Chain A
Amino acid sequence: MSRGRAREDRVILLVEDNPDDEALTLRALTKANVVNRVIVVRDGAVALDYVFGRGEFAGRDVADLPGVVLLDLKLPRVGGLEVLKRIREDGRTKLMPVVVLTSSDEESDIISAYELGANSYVRKAVDYARFNAAVQQLGLYWMLLNERVSTRLDTGARPSPWFEPE
């Protein structure tokens, strides 16, 4: 863990334009005692600014990757699939865990997300109990259980078990 932060210091990047979903997601994470800071961005362009340290996030250390990105698909400006594509195209972020968290269960969305290298695809259930359980499990799994690449990704780190680049 030369550059890696302690687990609890890693942030969760929540890319979500719906304030209700945002509030419900944050509530679910809090209830699950996920203590990690959650950065909320409300469109795809700002999400990319955060990830690549541009715009309002200029100067942010790009190597300090979020522990997980929870990515909605239908987003203003730059859509979720496009965000995912650009994250995977960049050597610095191609192994960053990205979980698609969306209302859609259309086959085409699921296939596109996996083709672009999503680590997981989770549907936001209408039923809050199920939504709650899903978000809590995601938080716990990605922030506590999952082991991530510990060195800088652009210095030739081996792929981690959870994402095999093509």
Chain B
Amino acid sequence: MARARLFEDEALEFAESIINTVREPLMSLDQDLRVVSVSRSFCRVFKVEPEETVGHLIYDLGNRQWDIPILRELLETILPEQTSFDDYEVEHEFADIGKRTMLLNARQIERASGKKRIILLAIEDITERKQIEAGLEEIRHELQQRTADLTAVNAELEAFAHSVSHDLRAPLRAIDGFSQALLEDYHDQLDAEGQSYLHRSAAAARRMGELIDDLLGLSRIARTDIVPETVDLSAIGREVVAELRQETPEREVEVVVAPGLLACGDAGMLRQALRNVLGNAWKYTAKAPVARIEMGGTMRDGETVVFVRDNGVGFDMTYSERIFEPFQRLHTVTEFPGSGIGLATVQRIIRRHGGRVWAEGKVNVGATVFFSLPPGGMER
């Protein structure tokens, strides 16, 4: 008998230590729903002392704060029928600790040899989790809304570009075309001045056509998805220089391209960026006695920084921010041709890769354009 008693004590001690170890608040009730024991975490979460609870009716705890209708139903109706219930979500406003959301689990434990049955009740306080979930849901909703907005804006941009592409070019072709037709077919009836006017209007129409092309190109960067891969910028740089040499064979330019500059990004877009940066250097060194262009860079912690330095006309650092805005030009079209969209294009490409573009320059000494590409080359 004494042995059995000892065994029972040990079992009880073991059970209690489990109850006190589990992070979830736990309580055991007798069949009259009076508290037999409460776990430490129950006391902590619901701000009660064990002495205030043991022997009391569960509904009377904390000035009847636990007199919750749904809890009554669970303990008095559902539990006797089903001997257990799982994950019952209960929301209740407690006087001391405010509104709480709890997850209730209970087991009715039948005991042998006519002893009274006990009820084990686990109460998980999921208030914070619910709040986080609600917050996440809100963020998700907001994100969905923003994505929908962006998609709509993108579709509008797409439609706009499409319409520009189709409709804005045709009238320009007519101006250029009929001016040329006049020049060819009615050559004899126009004096030199008349012909020059026609040449001018035709040239203006062509120039506007180029501006439209450049604008569409710029908007296309925003509308195109980046396909990241490892890109050999040095190789692209050499190819671009070869293209430039082919296009203007009369130019003599010393070019040095440092080997092995790698970055992660969209090969097509990065080529376009380098084409613009090197093309600029090429263009603005046209008046230098000995034109020199150097492409180099550094690779550190996955980030690649590239520079393209030239000894061309340079620019006044006062305007170093403006040169990246579309249609901003620091030279007249007669000095140096162009639409003023090249560096804007570069900036848009590099920003879409999560990088940065900046420039340094000095009038009549030269310019250096820098851009950085972060590891991964993904969109921000």
Contacts and interface: CB of A to CB of B under 8 A. Distances in A.
Contact of A131 (B177, B179, B208, B216): B177
A21 B170 contact: yes
Interface residues of A, number: 23
Nearest to B161: A106
A128 B179 CA distance: 9
A27 interface: yes
Contacts, number: 73
Given A20-B177, A129-B180, A102 B205 contact: no
A73 interface: yes
Interface string B191-216: 00000000000100110111011001
Contact of A74 (B166, B176, B179, B209): B166
Interface residues of B, number: 28
B174 interface: yes
Interface string A23-57: 01001000000000000000000000000000000
B166 A128 contact: no
B165 A105 contact: yes
Interface string A98-133: 000011111111000000000000001111110110
B138 to A, nearest CB: 36
B167 interface: yes
| B interface majority secondary structure | helix
A27 B181 contact: yes
Contact of B170 (A103, A105, A107, A132): A103
Contacts of B174: 18, 20-21, 24
Interface of B: 158, 161-162, 165-167, 169-174, 176-181, 202, 205-206, 208-210, 212-213, 216, 220
Interface of A: 18, 20-21, 24, 27, 73-74, 102-109, 124-129, 131-132
Given A20-B170, A24-B178, A131-B177, 16 more contacts: A18-B170, A20-B174, A24-B173, A24-B174, A27-B177, A103-B165, A103-B169, A104-B162, A104-B165, A105-B165, A105-B213, A107-B220, A126-B206, A126-B212, A128-B179, A132-B177
5 contacts: A20-B178, A105-B216, A109-B165, A124-B173, A127-B176
